[in-house]
Structure 1
Amino acid sequence: MQDFEVDHVEMYVGNLEEAAFGWVEKYDFPVAATSRSADHRSVTLRLGEITLVLTEPTSDRHPGAAYLQTHGDGVAGIALRTPDVTAAFEAAVRGGATAVREPARHPGAGPRQPVVTAAIGGFGDVVHSLVQYDGTAATPKPADYGGREGKLLAIDHFAVCLDAGDLGPTVAFYERALGFRQIFDEHIVVGAQAMNSTVVQGAAGAVTLTLIEPDMNADPGQIDEFLKNHHGAGVQHIAFTSDNAVRAVRRLSQHGVEFLKTPAAYYDLLARRIRVETHEVDDLRTANLLVDGDHGGELFQIFTASTHPRRTLFFEIIERRGAETFGSANIKALYEAVELERTGQRELGAVRR
């Protein structure tokens, strides 16, 4: 069975300089490369194991032009690294994937130049490029951090909003086409709103998608609004891991990243819900971090306020201290946090199990 890792994420943007400046100045991403062609310009940013490719189309011939008109700035591609692109592509197509680009071999000059690539359709307008390097560059070396603490390390998961009724077929697609497996499933109710969520993960656990659809028997909520404003399925947020979420939030806040706020009552009641061992509760309170845990350990997370003009994309900082699953409190906290942010508020209601 083929195994996959996240190679890079491609975002289509309407203003390349503005988008790159935000990632460099606010999130500390160094510029790794730039490129251009007759129909696009791109900037590659790399921090730790995270590689982001920002692409601005410069002609209507580029697929990014239609994407931006429909969705605005957003995640257009999640590239998957694999040791055998041809085998992965053929298996995916047999499993029902749409062939976007047939396998092609490249010269592979340099450690970050793939030797074989292909592409298949994913969800909505998001494409999965398949990328194969030579044996010496199968797992590219993470970028140097320069000794900073609270750094961003890798991509923990992608949260994907789907149209109602598409959750089951999408889960089945990833199982058949890419060999993913279900690791978590839940129906979440928040007031009069509700959603269904299933987490699928690659065979080795290196690629994780949290797939979400609205419950049409409940009142419309944030998932419905995302689908309306985004004009279809897409990536709602990307979660970045950190070795120390408290320090990460402190540094990113100083650089101008805005996070959702959590009221004091959440931390006053925290001891009734979970025993926190990794961080001091006062530090969590200052950083507005949410806490959850499972049989493996603790999990800390926080969500940024969306700066997208359509409010359809935001990000998450997550620190795992042994926790492997997605606890009920965390998923519900995410839903409540975004719901309050969506309605113009900046405080997260207390989360109860």
Structure 2
Amino acid sequence: MDIRGIDHIELYVGDARQAAHYFSTAVGFEVCGQGGPETGLAGQRSLLLRHGDIRLLLTSGLTAEHPAARYVRRHGDGIAVVAVAVDDVVAAYTELVGRGATGVTPPTSRGGADDVVTAEVEGFADVRHRLVQRRGDRADVLPGLIAPTEPTGQAHPPVLAEIDHLAVCVPPGQLDATARHFAGLFDFAQVFEEHVEVDGQGMNSTVVQSPSGRVTVVLLEPDLGRRPGQIDAFLDQHAGGGVQHLGLRTDDIITAVQTLRGRGVRFAGTPASYYDGLEARVGPLDAPLDRLRELGVLVDSDHDGQLLQIFAESVHVRRTLFLELIERRGARGFGSGNIKALYEAKERELASRAATPEGVGA
């Protein structure tokens, strides 16, 4: 199946306006569309945001029984729809249903023309797949339902380029089935797999990717033979599987982190000792070590090059969904080497503090 890329991501949130305020003022998105009962979106309020080639649709239910309201009650704020771009929605929808997908919304022309056609099928967990076909230069996400808004004139210059990947946590025993879901329906290929074990915690990871290479999903499953870790915590707080984080690619992570931090985005801290021996671990660095240390940017490498990454703290009540910033300098991986390196660095830091006499140092 020909999937050209991710068209947009739809989040179901408790308060679309509040969520839009964070994404616009802190992350740098611009609100460029809105919809609700007045535009034909019964029982919901939606706001469309854009930053570079990244489009987010934030939707809140206005009634208790709206799907967005039910989703938020069960999972909290989270990604509910992954919309992918295809050349022919009718053909793609027919093919998916023929392969066993459950249809949710049949092909529908939006805006009274065939400029934009959409359809939906059930996906994994409570996440749906939306198919989007655009003709010409039509850029509306849902024409006729999301009305364009006038530019505010306060848009920030984009420091993020596109969606790099989605990371999905699945309950124990569902990793292979979820990978088969993407392979069987969308012809995704498995491009990477590994087992990560640190301090008695363990997880299995499989990466699947569309034939075009434009859509990548990282699947994470906890190892029940090890003590509970972050994947278990997500599954508990999220009440089941779902998207744990959204990886956003940048061409300049140093500038991106500086910019977003200046606007109020909080990033996960990195122990100072992580940078001890960093070059010995990943090779000569493509960025100044002192700047990486100052900003807390992580570095990993594979045989294709290096990647730089950092994780933002979740701003959601359940501390589930969060953002990752990633800059690829040839590397195709996802920074798995940082899991062990971060743990070992934290252990060294704790040991150093324990060896420091009380009242000396920080």
Is TM (by shorter chain) over 0.5? yes
**Counterpart check, 1:122 vs 2:126:** no
Question: Any idea what SS the aligned residue of 1:311 has?
Answer: coil
**Counterpart check, 1:163 vs 2:167:** no
Structure 2 stretches lacking a partner, 5+ long: 142-150, 352-362
Does the 8 Å contact 2:28/2:155 carry over to 1?
no
Task: Look up the match of 1:194.
Answer: 202
Does the 8 Å contact 1:83/1:138 carry over to 2?
no
Question: Any idea what SS the aligned residue of 2:161 has?
Answer: strand
- In 2: Cα distance, 1:332 partner to 1:93 partner: 42
Does the 8 Å contact 1:158/1:239 carry over to 2?
yes
Structure 1 stretches lacking a partner, 5+ long: 341-346
**Counterpart check, 1:106 vs 2:107:** no
The within-5 A match list for 1:81-230 is: 81-107=85-111, 115-137=116-138, 148=157, 151-230=159-238
Task: Look up the match of 2:7.
Answer: 7
Q: CA deviation at 1:123?
A: 1.2
* CA 1:108–1:303: 2 relative to 1, 3 Å: farther
Task: Look up the match of 2:147.
Answer: none
**Counterpart check, 1:78 vs 2:87:** no
Does the 8 Å contact 1:184/1:326 carry over to 2?
no
- In 2: Cα distance, 1:159 partner to 1:332 partner: 19
- In 2: Cα distance, 1:250 partner to 1:138 partner: 30
Task: Look up the match of 1:56.
Answer: 60
**Greater Rg, structure 1 or structure 2?**
2
What's the TM-score once normalised by structure 2's chain length? Answer: 0.86
Q: CA deviation at 1:49?
A: 0.7
- In 2: Cα distance, 1:126 partner to 1:199 partner: 18
* CA 1:331–1:156: 2 relative to 1, 3 Å: farther
Q: CA deviation at 1:269?
A: 1.3
Q: CA deviation at 1:166?
A: 0.6
Deviation by residue 1:296-328 (Cα, 9 ceiling, x = unmatched): 221000011222211111110100111123353
Deviation by residue 1:227-281 (Cα, 9 ceiling, x = unmatched): 1111111110001111111111111111111111112211121121122342111
Task: Look up the match of 1:243.
Answer: 251
Does the 8 Å contact 1:78/1:129 carry over to 2?
yes
Number of positions where the alignment pairs a residue of Structure 1 with one of Structure 2: 335
Q: What amino acid is aligned across from residue 298 of structure 2 in structure 1?
A: L
- In 2: Cα distance, 1:105 partner to 1:43 partner: 20
Task: Look up the match of 2:279.
Answer: 271
Q: What amino acid is aligned across from residue 316 of structure 2 in structure 1?
A: H
Q: CA deviation at 1:13?
A: 1.1
Does the 8 Å contact 1:91/1:178 carry over to 2?
no
* CA 1:16–1:139: 2 relative to 1, 3 Å: closer
* CA 1:270–1:124: 2 relative to 1, 3 Å: same
Task: Look up the match of 1:69.
Answer: 73
Q: CA deviation at 1:158?
A: 0.5
Q: What amino acid is aligned across from residue 30 of structure 1 in structure 2?
A: E
Percent of aligned pairs with the same residue? 46
Deviation by residue 1:276-295 (Cα, 9 ceiling, x = unmatched): 34211111111101001122
* CA 1:275–1:314: 2 relative to 1, 3 Å: same
Q: CA deviation at 1:223?
A: 0.9
- In 1: Cα distance, 2:197 partner to 2:264 partner: 33
What's the TM-score once normalised by structure 1's chain length? Answer: 0.88
Q: CA deviation at 1:93?
A: 2.0
Task: Look up the match of 1:343.
Answer: none
The two structures, once aligned, show a CA RMSD in angstroms of 2.7
Task: Look up the match of 1:39.
Answer: 43
- In 2: Cα distance, 1:61 partner to 1:131 partner: 26
